[in-house]
Amino acid sequence: MFSIKEVFADEDTMKSRLATCEECPKYIKASKQCKVCLCVMPLKTRFAATECPVGKWGRVHPNTDK
């Protein structure tokens, strides 16, 4: 069974990831999607196990990362 902290990134991490995406030239502002992975970034940035397809941010590991 997974805890909430293992599934979801904390609020600060999510905001930081999304801010990074919004500055990226591969971000589609109108649909809030990434041109590389086509994910909807306000959703993708909330999950701890996700990572940027071009390496701008990575996974959050419970008990080792904030």
Q: Has residue 44 been placed in a domain?
A: yes
What total of structural domains would you count in the chain?
1
List the pLDDT tens digit at each of the 66 positions of the chain. 667 778 999 999 999 999 999 999 999 999 999 999 999 999 999 999 999 999 999 999 765 444
Q: Has residue 21 been placed in a domain?
A: yes
CA dist 29 and 19 (Å) reads: 12
Q: Has residue 52 been placed in a domain?
A: yes
What pLDDT does 11 receive?
95
Residue 5 and residue 61 in contact, taking contact as beta carbons nearer than 8 Å: no
Domain containing residue 45: 1-59
